[in-house]
Amino acid sequence: MELISQVLALVPTSQGLGKEPIVPFAILLLVILVVPIVFERLRLPGVVGLLLAGIVLGPHGWNLLQSKLQIMDLLSEIGLVYLMFVAGLEIDIKQFRHTANRSLGFGSFTFGVPLVVGTMVGRIFGFDWNAAILIGSLFASHTVLAYPIINHLGVAENEAVTVTIGATVFADISALLLLAVCIAVHTSQLNAFNLITLIGWLTIYSTVVLVGFDWAGKEFFRRSGEDEGNQFLFVLLVVFLASVGAQLIGVEKIVGAFLAGLAVNETLADGPVKEKVVFVGSVLFIPIFFVDLGLLVDLPRFARNTNALQLTAFIIAGLISSKFVAAMLAKLLYQYNWRETITMWSLSIPQVGATLAATLVGYRVGLVSQEVFNSVIILMLVTSTVGPLITSRVAPGLDTSATKVQAAFSPVCPSTSQSNDPFTIVVPVYNPHTQQYLIEMAALLAQQARGKIIPLAIATAAAHMDAPRLEASLQRSERLLAKANALSKALNVESAPLLRIDDAFAQGISRAAREQKANLIVMGWGKRTGIRAKLFGNVIDSVLWASHCPVAVTRLVESPRKIQRILVPVENLMASVLQPVQFAHILAEANQAQVTVLNVCERRTSSSKIAALRSQLGLLVSKLAVSNTPEIQIIAHENVAQAILQAARLYDLVVLPFVRNQTIPGGLVISDVTTQLARQLTCSIVMLGEPQRGQLDALPAGVANTTAIV
């Protein structure tokens, strides 16, 4: 017993571990890695999981984390600044300019009406005018959380959608500036003269940041060339300089961070530096900020407080109703139909980024009470769930003109391309056991399109170009290319083998495809689609994210020359169905095969509605003007995946279309339906990814909803 006591005495106690800064940091890393993945599997936003994790692990739960810890305070503060910077960075300035008048109009409605309603709610519950106006400003901003859904459905170009996204600029800036004034009034007891002075300083400061930092950023990027490291550091310096500058004039730092994002918005565009900036924030700092918010929530106290529950009910009802009134005003003024109006309403409901940041700032300075803070957290949980849910129901019926359909369609055959270059297919070769089927698939497509294939082998670079490892890799690559070239000649297709030395496989593939002006990349694919793929990603994920052209990721169980029946499941009747149908048609023409386009609707769908869906899908597919018209099939079923699996038993190949959406750069978002299909389908599979068309609103890791593929 004495020996055991001595051993136990040597073991650090939990209290001792708690004092080590490395322990809470390790806990945070575990939380932000695992929790969002688990909640996304449950079809809930990852940010909900982060907040709940903070509540459970905080002082009012298991007491494993404390918001007052120095490391927690520092990382959360950086996350707060980063969140607002990325919010400004991801705003589409060009889109705002395109619909500036209507965006300002709807922005005024969706800012002004909720501001009035929120202020009234504050006054009803006994808050003074300054605190009530701040509560109103929390109502006024919004986060376009459902944009991934809109983008996937192919209706992002609808005017009502672009106007709503543009309105975010006006609403968020106005809400943040109003926050700055309310905080200044609260902390300094400003008189009229000092308030005018503050507004003057704000005007000068905003001009310096938006104009000066924009000019400085463009000059620095022009002079620094391709040095991404220095460009990344410059962006971070801009963020924190703007934040410090805001504090110097008596304004909250989140205002400066947001303006800094707007200032370097066009400078960064959609380049690699922007990806790195967003990546660092979305992976580490912003999730920690949301966990810290959860640490501050006192759920037991909230549940016992009847007045707090009533306040929460009023805040939720006031926010949702005021946003609806704003959408109705836009409908009356701009003559939008009901579906567009409901879409605008649902897009402006979610309260995440600016709202939570402003709430935390108000809470820290004592202007917002614990009850209001807790109520806004509940508001965020409700609106971030309800808003995207409504959007997913009403957005599929938004109108898109024929010209928009054609503009949104990324061609995969020469007949739809204006270029005179031959149709080029890049085929990365690595596995000699699957290489033959890949070359056969590419050859069939190239023959039908009168093009050529480029078998591509990547030898990963070494520090020294005479390194034995590099030499062995080059020899292996040459053997693979020789085999690919022989196969190409046997199939009577033009072949131009390419050996490339690059830092990584994915970068080498996407760069070579761009240099060769490829129209399509054909790659092999295993069965790695579960949680492991979401955690670590792979070469295919990176190519899908970075490529400039469509990518066909194939899992071929037999020779492509034996394919006679091809199934193309489509989720919606939008422009996104054209590319996979055209891909299937090209392959079908080579084999004299039959293509079936399948749409699964709800079991309760009436026969007349099914007939209308069949007619609409047939009309859309007819835009391809193909010789062998695909068969149209509509199935009413309660389970989409099961319906497709049952139908696929009669087919040799299933083409699964999807749109790439960003959560973490380099990571491919795969829906549960697609994961199930990939695991259970026994026939050959092609997953056809479209080239990227713009970025999403920046969200913390795990916040963006998983985009369904079928």
pLDDT in tens, 512-534: 999 999 989 998 875 544 434 44
> Which of 582, 555, 576 is closest to 449 using CA atoms?
582
Residue spans of beta strands (DSSP E) within 496-606 = 498-502, 520-524, 551-555, 565-570, 594-601
Is a pLDDT exceeding 60 seen at residue 94?
yes
Q: What is the pLDDT of residue 332?
A: 92
Flag whether pLDDT at 575 surpasses 80: no
pLDDT of residue 161: 87
Q: 57-71, 126-140, 488-502, 536-550 — which is least confidently predicted?
A: 536-550
What is the Cβ-side half-sphere exposure of residue 601, based on CA atoms within 13 angstroms? 18
pLDDT digits (tens, 9 = 90+) for 357-391: 888 888 888 888 888 998 998 998 888 888 888 98
Report the distance separating Cα 58 and Cα 149, nearest Å: 33
3 state SS of 452: strand
- Asked if residues 610 and 636 have their Cβ atoms less than 8 Å apart, the reply is yes
244 burial level (CB within 10 Å; 0-12, 13-18, 19+): exposed
The lowest-confidence range among 213-217, 463-467, 546-550 is 463-467
Please tell me the distance from the alpha carbon of residue 411 to that of residue 31, in angstroms, as a whole number: 42
pLDDT in tens, 310-349: 999 999 999 999 999 999 999 999 889 998 999 999 999 9
Angle at 63 between CA 296 and CA 23, to 5 degrees: 105
Amino acid at residue number 552? A
Cα–Cα distance, 566 to 559 (Å, whole number) = 14
Structure tokens that stand for 129 in this block: 């005018």
User: What's the pLDDT score for residue 671?
Assistant: 53
Token code pair at residue 514: 């761009």
Q: What is the pLDDT of residue 115?
A: 94
70 CA to centre of own chain: 31
Q: What is the per-residue pLDDT for 121?
A: 93
- Give whole-number Cα distances, 126 to 112, 115, 697, in Å: 21, 17, 36
pLDDT value of position 526: 59
Q: Mean pLDDT across the stretch 677-698? A: 68
Q: What is the pLDDT of residue 567?
A: 93
Q: Helix, strand or coil for residue 171?
A: helix
Per the structure block, which two tokens stand in for 521?
């990349």
pLDDT top residue among 436 and 677 = 436
The answer to pTM > 0.75 is no
- Contact, 674 vs 116, CB < 8 A? no
Query: How far, in Å, CA of 682 to CA of 653, rounded?
Result: 9
Paired with 62 in beta bridges are: none
Band (pLDDT 50/70/90 cuts) for residue 241 is very high
**486-513 core/surface letters (b: 16 or more CB in 10 A; e: else):** ebbeebebbbebbebebeebbbbbbbbb
The per-residue pLDDT for range 476-515, each reduced to its tens digit, is 888 889 998 898 888 889 999 999 988 788 888 988 999 9
Question: Does residue 535 have a pLDDT over 80?
Answer: no
671: its two tokens: 């829906």
691 vs 290: CA distance, rounded Å = 32
The pLDDT confidence band at residue 573, using thresholds 50, 70 and 90, is: low
Q: Which of 451, 591, 598, 600 lies closest to 518, judged by CA?
A: 451
Strand 551-555 vs strand 684-689: parallel, antiparallel, or unpaired? antiparallel
- Helices 370-394/306-334 angle, 10° precision: 40
Q: What is the pLDDT at residue 565?
A: 93
What number of residues does the chain have? 710
With a cut of 60, say whether residue 580 has pLDDT above it: yes
What is the number of helices (H) and of strands (E) in the chain? 32, 11
Q: Could you tell me the sign of the dihedral formed by the alpha carbons of 665, 671, 672, 676, in that order?
A: negative
Q: From 377, 312, 355, select the one nearest 58 (Cα to Cα).
A: 377
Q: Could you tell me the CA-to-CA distances from 425 to 157, 508, 568, 577 in Å, in that order?
A: 30, 15, 21, 21
**3-state secondary structure (DSSP) of residue 418:** coil
Cα–Cα distance between 134 and 178 in angstroms, integer? 7
**Mean pLDDT score across all residues of the chain:** 80
Cβ–Cβ under 8 Å, residues 315 and 107: no
CATH of domain 398-407+551-710: 3.40.50.620
Torsion of CA 254, 259, 261, 266, to 10 degrees: 170
Are 504 and 411 in contact by the 8 Å Cβ rule? The answer is no
- What CATH fold (topology level) applies to the domain 411-524? Rossmann fold (3.40.50)
**Residue 227 scores a pLDDT above 60:** yes
Q: What does the pLDDT look like over 131-151, one tens digit per residue?
A: 999 999 999 888 887 777 777
Q: Please give the structure tokens belonging to residue 663.
A: 């959560």
For domain 14-23+70-397, give the CATH number: 1.20.1530.20
**What gap in Å lies between CA 399 and CA 405, rounded to an integer?**
10
> For 254-296, what is each residue's pLDDT tens digit?
888 888 888 888 788 766 788 788 888 888 888 888 898 888 8
pLDDT at 49: 86
Token output for 693: 């068309």
Q: CB neighbours (10 Å) of residue 271?
A: 12
β-pairing verdict for 424-428 and 452-460: parallel
Q: For the chain, what percent of residues have pLDDT higher than 90?
A: 15
The answer to whether 494 and 631 are in contact (CB under 8 A) is no
**Which pLDDT band, with edges at 50, 70 and 90, does 20 fall under?**
low
**Residue recorded with tokens 């009910």:** 313
Asked whether the beta carbons of 232 and 273 are under 8 A apart, the reply is: yes
Residue 31 has pLDDT above 80, yes or no: yes
Ranking 44-48, 231-235, 612-616 by mean pLDDT, the lowest is: 44-48
pLDDT at 19 over 70: no
**Does the pLDDT value for residue 703 go beyond 60?**
no
Distance CA 569, CA 83 (A): 38
CA 383 to chain centre: 18
Strands 520-524 and 594-601: unpaired
Query: Residue 2's pLDDT is what?
Result: 52
Q: What are phi and psi of 63, to 5 degrees?
A: 60, 40
Judge whether residue 676 has pLDDT over 80. Answer: no
pLDDT score of 692 = 53
Read off the pLDDT of each residue in 542-558 and give the average, rounded to a whole number.
84
Burial class (CB in 10 A: 0-12, 13-18, 19+), 133: buried
97-101: long-range contacts at Cβ-Cβ below 8 A with a sequence spacing of 24 or more?
Answer: 98/162, 98/166, 99/159, 99/162, 99/163, 99/166, 100/166
Q: What average pLDDT score do residues 639-667 get?
A: 72
Across the range 112-124, mean pLDDT stands at 93
pLDDT at position 114: 94
Given a cut of 50, whether residue 536 has pLDDT beyond it is no
Percentage of the chain lying above the pLDDT 70 cut: 83
Q: Is the dihedral of CA 532, 154, 568, 432 positive or negative?
A: negative
Q: What pLDDT is stored for residue 320 in this prediction?
A: 94
Q: Which residues contact 389 (CB under 8 A, 6 or more apart)?
A: none
Alpha helices in 395-494 (DSSP H): 402-408, 435-449, 468-490
Domain ranges of the chain: 14-23+70-397, 398-407+551-710, 411-524
Q: Phi first, then psi: what are they for 504, rounded to 5°?
A: -150, 160
Topology match between the domains 398-407+551-710 and 411-524:
yes
d(CA 671, CA 658): 10
Whole-number pLDDT of residue 190: 65
First to last CA, the chain: 64
